[in-house]
Amino acid sequence: MVLVVSSELKAVLSVIYGGCISLNNSYLNNRILKKQKKYNISINASLGLMIINVVVRMLLVALFVLIGLKIDLNAFSLLLGFAIGQVGFLIDRVLIQNGG
């Protein structure tokens, strides 16, 4: 069975999918930051964890974007949703650091 989706719905689904990729990315980042604070690890171990975290997050983002493109989502909308989610994450980080 083939599902026919209008271009507007496809764009909306693409933005939502991109936002979900961003949420997953933010979750993984927060998880590693909490582990670093909880276990009070050394600077070298912390740097190693951050490098691994960055590599894993970038690979997952690339994988999820490729999956989105493979299921024929709108590329521009997908990346727009991802970018908006990342901007929201950065604003949240700034507010947290400034005590807001």
User: Quick one: pLDDT at residue 17?
Assistant: 96
User: Quick one: pLDDT at residue 1?
Assistant: 52
Q: What is the pTM of this model?
A: 0.82
User: Quick one: pLDDT at residue 14?
Assistant: 95
Any idea where the domains of the chain sit in the sequence? 12-94
- What are the mean pLDDT values of the chain's consecutive 10-residue runs (100 residues total)? 75 94 91 83 84 93 96 94 93 81
Distances (CA, A) of 8 to 4, 12, 42, 74: 12, 6, 50, 10
